[in-house]
Structure 1
Amino acid sequence: MNNTHKGNYGVPRDINARVKIMGLIILDIVFVGGSTLLAFVFGTKIFPNEQWMQFLAFMVLTAIWTLYLVLPTNGGKKNWRTIYLFFRRRRHRYISIDRMK
């Protein structure tokens, strides 16, 4: 018997690996597409027909902004998570030196 697989039977090493398309997780692609669809639905109600340029800019900027939010940063977290952590109150991170004495 010729064993050419050498123990690799097509099973991925990380069983919890997420499916990616062009570096984005499928859930992120659905989020960007859904937010663009919501921007289209709300944009048709907000902008009159005469303001088609503003409507188009609204659509494009919404897609770009949501794409930016789901892209990862250097720390491995997504941009929306780093923004959330930045604005979150940090009650227990500061410890006074005088309090320790």
Structure 2
Amino acid sequence: MVKHIVMWNVRGETPEQKKESAVLVKTAFESLSGKIPGLTRLEVGLDVSAVDYACDVVLYTEFESQESLDAYASHPEHLRVKQIVGDIRIARHQVDYV
């Protein structure tokens, strides 16, 4: 199993705008559930700490194998979501581990 974790900071001039952006990211990624072969778990969380160094959104996923994760990168549904998120993210951090 490979775990793939991604965190983003999103655009927004006000806390309300940032929350709207974060919810859009959450909704977009949750739409992938059941559509990606080898993706066995998908969870999206929104930060509730409000500390200045926190990321706004986290994606936690588990894949059956490295090959499944590699295929996910170019899957049409993932590319669709990536396009949505690309315009509203201002920072991205990622960790993959076995």
Q: TM-score, normalised by structure 2?
A: 0.34
Give the number of the structure whose alpha-carbon radius of gyration is greater.
1
More strand by share: 2
Higher helix share: 1
Please report the TM-score for the alignment, with normalisation by the length of structure 1.
0.33
RCO (CA 8 Å, sep 6+): is it higher in 1 or 2?
A: 2
